[in-house]
Structure 1
Amino acid sequence: MYWNKRKVLVTGGASFIGSHLVDLLVESGARVRVADDFSSGKRENLAAHVKAKSVEVLETDLLRTENCEKAVRGMQTVFHLAALHGGRGYVDLHQALCAQNFAMDGTVFKAAREGGVEKVVFASSGCVYPNYLQTDVSQELYLTESMVGPPYDADNLYGWAKLMSELTLRAYHQDFGMKSASLRFFTVYGRRGHENHAVIAMIAKAFVKMDPYPVWGTGEQIRNWTHVRDIVRGMALAGEKIEDGTAVNLGSMERIRVIECAREVLRYTKHKAEIRLEPDKPVGPLNRVADNAMARRLLGWEPQVKFMDGLHDTIDWYFSAKDRAAVKKVLQEKLTER
């Protein structure tokens, strides 16, 4: 197997997505190091691996050059997921913090090249796509990778930082020959998710029995929620197969309206509540769905988890893992913070 005994760094490896990637890499026999500042990542996500001594953990700030140099030392592949990031409320309301991601990405990339890392796999985002393409919910739109180009119109400073880092990695391959790949994640959900992301937020509101039950926006916003297991499987495949800095969508092509998700959460949890639409809340682009043809062609990848199946599994996890009083106490803050 490709990953067996391969030395791999996962930045942000204690996070929601990062910890699932660590699970997959350890299972595949990789020698994994995690670099995380634990500002949003959770130690419990890595606890089993730490106990088994199958993962090395560095608690570190990757905005500092010397920390990046230490983190990449001796590594063959770097999966760079560390970021100042949250859901729609966070990226809309914390522009300056999200802008720091470009500085972090550049520092990690430079250290990787100078440290002799063979390949960098970067966690990019659907936020790189032009806002002006995503305004009409009546259009059956599927975003293809080639749609990212002049005139650029990324989604907030979070999206601009991701876009600039994609272009930086591509330049590193062209100028220095460093192997790389960028994966554009589309609206990831699943176990270990955070309440500042839409699916977990809707589940949490049902968990604490909010009535009326608030739904941000008109509910007509369209998304292609993609399960975290599918995302990390795509990342591992890109780590094996892409070398030239190509950016590839990782996203389902299921088109789901926010209101449809909300209604299913209420139905499945048996929470009878009046839905209250909140059009003044941050909603982001109205029509964001990936075309995943390139991932199918280059990686042999396509999503395996249907949205409703994944949603039910995520609800089951949340309801069994969380304490209602504790969630109720902090939920309003968690909707927009890390």
Structure 2
Amino acid sequence: MKTALVTGAWGFVGRHMTRALREGGWDVIGCDLANPEHPVDVLDVFRRGDRVFDLVVHAAARAPHRAAIDGRPATMAYNLQLDSAMFDWALRTGQRRVLYLSSSAVYPVGFQDGNEQWRLHETNTDSAHGIMPDAGYGWTKLTGEKTAAAAAAEGLAVHVVRPFSGYGEDQGEDWPFGAFAGRVRRREDPFVIWGAGDQTRDWIHISDVVAGALAVVDADVRVPVNLCTGRGVRMYDLVRMFVDQGGYEPTIVLDTGKPEGVRYRVGDPDTFQEIYRPKVSLEEGVARAVRAAVST
């Protein structure tokens, strides 16, 4: 039986990755301090563990959501430590394969100001004209990718994926999609959107994030790959989908005093679609989320 270690297994991506691997017949060990039944410090695993796995999925990160990205920059140091320790451990113990969950935050914010609807291609981080990723979290993930490349040069099999705006029915309210589902469940009126409402994102269902990432591993692709759809949808339009599915008409209020991130973040899906094509449309994802929200 194939074996896997999933770090951050209690988080949104980690728990879906763990479930998918187990359903695929893998023997999976998950580690996460947030697990209330069996908390495990991921750094302790990297300091003391020596078991070799067929696949290490590194999904652990502290608070990778907008409020923390803008308001808690100290998380950067911890996330850098996590990534450095993981790659050091993987090389030292001879791990067979690593899947590194990077982020679309690695892309230069200058390409995402909304003046041009720029589809972010995997090579856009290679600009020689001043790379400025999205806040400390973007720098963390870009550094993680550089560390991954260095580990690969020493012989480690590493796969890097860059998820765009992943979402799902069980996503927490620290993220926009989960927050919107919660507001529909409570039938909030007014319905508040952070920012101007026209910030645009590339939404991809968590099942497609997981299946797509594992398809990258199966295809043995060793360059970074966007996990995206190529379709941009404004926050305001996403809210309209939610309230239409929820069957009510609240007043929509824009809170421009809250963090909103970059204006236009949409991925170029060409490389990804050669490996995997997303199965769940945003409309279906919203419908699932509303059904799940109103049933709780």
Tell me the TM-score normalized by structure 2. 0.94
Partner of 1:276: 253
State the superposition RMSD in angstroms: 1.6
Counterpart pick for 2:280 among 305, 318, 321: 305
Partner of 2:161: 183
Counterpart pick for 2:23 among 9, 21, 27: 27
Q: Quote the offset at 1:265 in angstroms.
A: 1.0
The one-letter amino acid paired with 2:31 is A
Pairing 1:147–2:101 present: no
Partner of 1:59: 39
Partner of 2:179: 201
The one-letter amino acid paired with 1:257 is R
User: C-alpha separation between the residues in 2 aligned to 1:230 and 1:75?
Assistant: 24
Q: Quote the offset at 1:243 in angstroms.
A: 5.5
The one-letter amino acid paired with 1:145 is E
Give SS of 1:181's match: strand
User: C-alpha separation between the residues in 1 aligned to 2:174 and 2:229?
Assistant: 21
User: C-alpha separation between the residues in 1 aligned to 2:103 and 2:46?
Assistant: 22
Q: Quote the offset at 1:237 in angstroms.
A: 1.3
Identity of aligned residues (%): 28
Deviations 1:280-311 (A, max 9, x none): 210111000011111223xx212111111111
Shift >3 Å, 4+ stretches:
69-72
Q: Closer, same or farther in 2 for the Cα pair 1:111/1:164, shift >3 Å?
A: same
The one-letter amino acid paired with 1:265 is F
Structure 2 residue ranges without an equivalent (≥5): none
Deviations 1:233-257 (A, max 9, x none): 011112222363x111001112101
Number of corresponding residues: 294
User: C-alpha separation between the residues in 2 aligned to 1:314 and 1:289?
Assistant: 22
Deviations 1:90-138 (A, max 9, x none): 21111111331011111011111111101111000000000011002x5
Q: Quote the offset at 1:42 in angstroms.
A: 6.8
Output aligned runs, 1:108-123, within 5 Å.
Answer: 108-123=86-101
Deviations 1:140-195 (A, max 9, x none): 32100010123211111111000000111111111x11110111010110022110
User: C-alpha separation between the residues in 2 aligned to 1:221 and 1:12?
Assistant: 29
Answer yes or no: is the 8 Å Cα contact 1:119–1:243 preserved in 2. Answer: no
Q: Closer, same or farther in 2 for the Cα pair 1:25/1:71, shift >3 Å?
A: farther
Output aligned runs, 1:157-236, within 5 Å.
Answer: 157-174=136-153, 176-236=154-214
User: C-alpha separation between the residues in 2 aligned to 1:276 and 1:17?
Assistant: 30
Give SS of 1:59's match: coil
Q: Closer, same or farther in 2 for the Cα pair 1:163/1:72, shift >3 Å?
A: farther
Pairing 1:36–2:14 present: no
User: C-alpha separation between the residues in 1 aligned to 2:64 and 2:172?
Assistant: 8
Partner of 1:52: none
Partner of 1:254: 231
Answer yes or no: is the 8 Å Cα contact 1:134–1:285 preserved in 2. Answer: yes
Tell me the TM-score normalized by structure 1. 0.83
The one-letter amino acid paired with 1:32 is V
User: C-alpha separation between the residues in 2 aligned to 1:141 and 1:319?
Assistant: 36
